[in-house]
Amino acid sequence: MSILIDKKTRLLVQGITGGEGSFHTQRCIEYGTRVVAGVTPGKGGSETLGVPIFNTVEAAVERTRANASLIFVPAAFAADAILEAVDAGIPLVVCITEGIPVSDMVVVHNYLKGKRTRLIGPNCPGLISPGKCKAGLMAGEIHLPGNVGVVSRSGTLTYETVAQLTGLGIGQSTCVGIGGDPLPGSTFVDILELFQKDKDTKAVVLIGEIGGTAEQEAARFVKEKMTKPVVAFVAGATAPPGRRMGHAGAIISGSSGRASDKMAALAAAGTTIAPSPAEIGLTMQKVLQKWNANR
């Protein structure tokens, strides 16, 4: 098994005809993802990459029974695209777009209340269940099917981590990039909850970064609810306070949001902290060896 996406996923791409949208849709199709529809207002009725295009998400869902959406719409229009997918009742919406205003996301979160949609992102690389389905930007070939779940606020640091795991022969169940924005659709806790329930996930890698308190909340969840081992790393120990480190959510304000506090909270909750970002794979290898020996 895996979480959120698998062989049954029928992916819709909003913004499929844009440069990034078409490049990455092609990659997803090559990986084996079933891309059933694209949405670009004004281009309905045409076809791109062998995928039928619709003017609205509603029409696309009606015709193709799409059950997940991947959004590449520019920032100024991305919140609208998310709302359209939620309105159409799509259970999983993955928003890649970076740069959505915070106030737009406040409206999106308010709209999501009581709806059946789970939002991943925005400002994220998407997700992949290796060997089954890829709904994101990650290079498929660095992944290996297996039993370690990966959840991260970063994109490229996740690729780095996955490459380390794969290099050691440790496969992944699902890798989820929750994104670097201050108001992510899904939090660490949301995804940890899914990994905890997933039969095929045996351990989890969590990659955090400075800013906010998502790692502290994850630590609380790990301590209270997780029975599976968790390896964690928090990026930004050398980041100066008060500066936004690329991601809109990566900022140390005053004394809160520091990497050291987050790592301390995660360590106290029983997760194993990787000593450096280059040793996340090795740390997981050791944790798995110990875990298997104790069973």
Query: Catalytic amino acids?
Result: 247
Nearer to other proteins, 77 or 291 (CB): 77
Nearer to other proteins, 61 or 191 (CB): 191
Q: What is the DSSP letter of 251?
A: B
Instruction: Write out the residues near other proteins by the rule CB under 8 A.
Output: 19-20, 24, 27, 75-76, 96, 98-107, 109-110, 125, 137-139, 142, 152-160, 163-164, 180, 182-183, 207, 209-210, 212-213, 217, 233, 235-240, 242-250, 254-256, 259, 276-279
Rounded Cα–Cα distance for residues 4 and 186 (Å): 12
Partners of 93 in the beta sheet?
Answer: 69, 119
Task: Calculate Rg over the CA atoms of the chain.
Answer: 19
Q: Burial of 285 by CB count in 10 Å (0-12 exposed, 13-18 middle, 19+ buried)?
A: middle
The helix-helix angle for 188-197 and 214-225 (nearest 10°) equals 30
Please count the residues of the chain: 295
Q: Tell which residue, 134, 145, 112, 124, has the closest CA to residue 11.
A: 134
Q: Tell which residue, 170, 175, 176, 245, has the closest CA to residue 209.
A: 245
Strand positions, DSSP E, 72-140: 92-95, 118-120, 126-129, 133-136
